[in-house]
A and B are shown apart, each in its own frame.
Chain A
Amino acid sequence: MQELDTAGLGSIRVTRKDDHTVVIEKDLATEQMVLAMGPQHPSTHGVLKLECLTDGEVITQAEPFLGYLHRCFEKCCENVDYPAIVPYTDRLDYLSGMNSEFAYALAVEKLLDIEIPRRVEFIRVIVAELNRIASHLVAIGTYGIDLGAFTPFLFCFRDREIILGLLEWVSGARMLYNYIWIGGLAYDIPSDFLKRVGEFIAYFRPKTVELCNLLTKNEIFVKRTIGIGIMPAEVAINYGWSGPMLRGSGVKWDLRRNDPYSVYPELDFNVPVPDGKLSIVGDCLSRHLVRALEMEESLKIIEQCISKMPATEGFNPRSAIPKRIRPKAGEVYARAENPRGELGFYILSDGKSTKPLRCKARSSCFVNLSAMKDLSKGQLLPDLVAIIGSIDIVLGEVDR
């Protein structure tokens, strides 16, 4: 049992018990203080401002202010042709460009109602899953930094570098790929690519164990995250949470399984959810665990794709791309499982124009972040950093 007399005023006593509950006792009503965190703050992962109303060291209200990175994505979409939107989608969630392109391509293809060559589907899944691992590595590494663990960050970025190298080899760019096009791909994969991906998997598998020993089993890290920012499953669903955030609350929901797209129905992988043995279901540690376990599942998916992919000599990945992309009148809402959750695109076409009449990106981070107010209420100020880190926001996607 640990007792903290915060601010030395004797106003609030915060007691942490051994079963991870926090008891806050108030003797006096003190003056509340407004503390602005951000927009330039290292642990907000970008330009996010949090206006915290604090009572001693306890947060009574934390209100996020966004829009510092708003670039009018949706307005831009209304002014360019369908294929020209692909590079813009990279800039939404810049840590997982492949996944964003994938989701957008799915939406337009659904509207066009076209068939995609099987080899293209497998290549898409491989690059998307590689990008998912890279994205989770950033999430885990920076989460470590937020909580004072510097070494895992270096390990994560070392391994991420290999993935970025592979994706650069495929597409020519390290982060903003413009690789998955509507109806196909920009290029076929290089001839030795699958071999090199296989080598990466063999290299990376032991590294996930190493990372687990270094961070997930680290007592300091566990103490900073367990029992912090607990979100019950019901509330998480009501808040529209998705991806690792929702699974961290114990809901077994993965769009690759529950609303399958591409070749995911043929692939065998698990959807990891916390069982409550290592963490309290719904807390920051659970969300971290889900991400750590998902990397292994992504490796499994890539392995299966390599063995199942049809080898075609002189394959043209642009064969199914329509000459002129002009969908018939209609609307579509299509989504894909991004590293951060459900990325959906709502597209309205009038059937005459080669530009969408309306293109809305349903961003996963935006929705996940909207629960911040409830999530941080009554938490200690240092734990706020742990909560933001566990949401794993990318401001490019929040603000669009």
Chain B
Amino acid sequence: MEEGKVFSQSVQQSAAAYAIIHEKFGSAVSAFDANETMPFFEVLDARLWRDIALFMRDHAKLKFNYMACLTGMDYQAEEKLGIVCNLESLSLFNHRLAVKVKCERDGGFIPSVACVWHTANWHEREAYDMFGILFTGHPDFRRILCPDDWEGFPLRKDYKVQESYHGIKVPY
């Protein structure tokens, strides 16, 4: 957190929660980005993401039991794909934190957290469907919104729509 800047109470609560995670995982997590709209930190070593998720859910002072949202991302400038998870502790504590995990654009993967929060199951399937992010250890890994034989991943910035699908012209 930057010195001399006054943040609202909710950001301070997020910072306190981050401090506990940072103490345990050290350099595997990035510095805390304190901002009023969405305070977050990044998981630098993606392989540790599931351990961090479990720690965040089960630690007595954290109890992030509710995953509000998991967003797939295409960071084109960094040549990376990633996810943003909005976590909070529903009816136990008041802290909220967003976590970012990034992976290589080609051949990279992120550990699935569907076993930590059931809701991540469909969110991760959607992230795979739209961005082609591979989640390892996912119980039911396939497309969800697009048909199974659809080519490409529509929300990637460099996506080119396929010419035809089962004989139907696709671009209009």
Closest to B117 in A: A238
- Identify A75's interface contact among B69, B144, B154, CB under 8 A: B154
Give the dominant DSSP class at A's interface.
mixed
Q: Would you call B37 and A240 a contact (CB within 8 A)?
A: no
Tell me the bound Cα distance from A162 to B30 in angstroms.
54
Given the known inter-chain contacts A66-B144, A67-B144, A70-B145, please indicate yes or no for A237 contacting B69, CB distance below 8 A.
Answer: no
Interface positions, chain A 58-78, Cβ under 8 Å from B, are 66-67, 70, 72, 74-75, 78
Rounded to whole Å, the gap between the CB of B43 and the closest CB of chain A is 16
Interface flag for B17 (CB, 8 Å): no
Tell me the bound Cα distance from A111 to B38 in angstroms.
10
Given the known inter-chain contacts A67-B146, A110-B37, please indicate yes or no for A366 contacting B122, CB distance below 8 A.
Answer: yes
Interface flag for A101 (CB, 8 Å): no
Rounded to whole Å, the gap between the CB of B124 and the closest CB of chain A is 11
Interface positions, chain A 228-287, Cβ under 8 Å from B, are 235, 237-240, 251-253, 258
Q: Would you call A399 and B37 a contact (CB within 8 A)?
A: no
Interface flag for A370 (CB, 8 Å): yes
Interface flag for B118 (CB, 8 Å): yes
Q: Would you call B65 and A344 a contact (CB within 8 A)?
A: no
Q: Would you call A344 and B147 a contact (CB within 8 A)?
A: no
Rounded to whole Å, the gap between the CB of A50 and the closest CB of chain B is 14
Question: What is the total number of residues of chain A having a CB less than 8 Å from a CB of chain B?
Answer: 38
Q: Would you call A333 and B90 a contact (CB within 8 A)?
A: no
Interface flag for A224 (CB, 8 Å): no
Tell me the bound Cα distance from A39 to B117 in angstroms.
28
Q: Would you call A344 and B86 a contact (CB within 8 A)?
A: yes
Q: Would you call B91 and A251 a contact (CB within 8 A)?
A: yes
Q: Would you call B86 and A333 a contact (CB within 8 A)?
A: yes
Q: Which residues of B contact A377 (CB under 8 A)?
A: none
Q: Which residues of B contact A360 (CB under 8 A)?
A: 69, 71-72
B positions within 8 Å CB-CB of A: 35-38, 65-69, 71-74, 84, 86, 90-91, 98, 117-119, 121-123, 130, 144-147, 154-155
9 tightest A-B contacts by CB?
A240-B119, A362-B69, A332-B37, A67-B145, A370-B122, A360-B71, A70-B145, A239-B118, A346-B71
A selection of 23 A-B contacts at a CB cut-off of 8 Å is A66-B144, A66-B145, A67-B144, A67-B145, A70-B145, A72-B154, A78-B155, A110-B37, A237-B65, A237-B90, A238-B65, A238-B117, A239-B119, A240-B117, A251-B90, A332-B38, A342-B68, A348-B73, A360-B69, A366-B122, A370-B118, A371-B118, A399-B145
